[in-house]
């Protein structure tokens, strides 16, 4: 099993946009082959702080998630879309 954990600090003015982009990503990610689950958590003490955790199996799925492989269902495009949204919304 491979687990991807992401720790993200989002600009407070973009919280709703970030959450919506991540929900769309979640909907498609949970149906991928090899995906075991996808957790998306918001810190109660700091609402602009998020964590995501996605356990996957097998190793090939990690390459797909990182956008290194274009799958028949356009997986690379999906990840690029989420990364585009996340990139402009997160704090450095």
DSSP sequence for 24-47:
HHHHHHTTSTTB---EEEE-SS-T
Total domains in the chain come to 1
The model's pLDDT over 32-48, given as tens digits with 9 standing for 90+, comes to 777 889 999 999 999 99
pLDDT tens string for the chain (92 positions)? 878 898 999 999 999 999 998 988 888 888 777 788 999 999 999 999 999 998 887 665 655 656 555 555 555 555 566 666 666 666 76
Query: Which residue's structure tokens are 């097998």?
Result: 58
Q: Which residues lie below 8 Å from residue 24, measured CB to CB, with a gap of 6+? A: 81, 82
CATH number of the domain within which 65 lies:
3.30.70.100
d(CA 77, CA 81): 6
**Domain carrying residue 43:** 2-89
């Amino acid at each position: 099993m491979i687990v991807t954990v992401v720790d993200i600090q989002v600009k407070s003015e973009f919280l709703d946009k970030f959450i919506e982009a991540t929900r769309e990503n979640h909907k498609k990610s949970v149906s991928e082959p090899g995906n075991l689950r996808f957790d998306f958590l918001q810190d109660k003490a700091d609402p602009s702080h998020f964590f995501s955790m996605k356990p996957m199996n097998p190793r090939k799925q990690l390459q797909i998630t990182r956008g290194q492989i274009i799958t028949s269902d356009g997986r690379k495009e999906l990840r690029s879309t989420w990364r585009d949204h996340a990139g402009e919304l997160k704090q450095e």
